[in-house]
Amino acid sequence: MTAPRFDSTIHAATRLQLCAMLAEVDAIDFAAVREDLGISDSVLSKHVKVLADEGYVAVKTYKSGGRSRKRLAFTKIGAQAYAGHIAELKRLIG
């Protein structure tokens, strides 16, 4: 059980959605996240950078069909921070 802990880095609507997606998979394509969140490349990149700078998200580049693509995954501390943040939100709601 993760200890409840508010995390201001995660606590933004877009980043919460992004983290909720990452928490359910091993990794997900950047393009798939952008499509589901309905935001532009640049906006998603900014959110990813905020999480990556905290060490919460790992970005991997790979080649597919001759094109360079990005894939996002939670790091261990990112997954722990998200779980702690969710626990705190649930605690606040009661």
Partner 1 sequence: MENDETSELSPADALASTRAGREAIARRIRVPWQWDAGEAVSIGIFMALIAYTSPPWTTMVISGWAIVFLGMVEARRRRTGIVAGGNTRRTFDPLHLVVLVVTLGVFTLGMIAGARWWDGIPVVTAVIAAGVILGGYRWINRRAVARVLAGS
Contact 84, 3 (CB under 8 A): yes
Closest approach of Cβ 67 to partner 1, in Å?
A: 12
- Residue carrying structure tokens 């360079």: 68
Interface with partner 1 (CB under 8 A), residue total 36
Query: What character string, x for contact with partner 1 (CB under 8 A) and - otherwise, covers 17-56?
Result: xxxxx-xxxxxxx-xxx-xxx-----x--x---x------
| Short-list 49, 91, 94, CA closest to 70 | 49
* 68-87 positions binding partner 1, by CB under 8 A: 71, 73, 86
Contact 56, 74 (CB under 8 A): yes
| SS3 assignment, position 70 | strand
Q: What is the DSSP letter of 38?
A: T
Closest approach of Cβ 50 to partner 1, in Å?
A: 7
Residues at the contact surface with partner 1, assessed by CB under 8 A: 8, 11-21, 23-29, 31-33, 35-37, 43, 46, 50, 64, 71, 73, 86, 89-90, 92-93
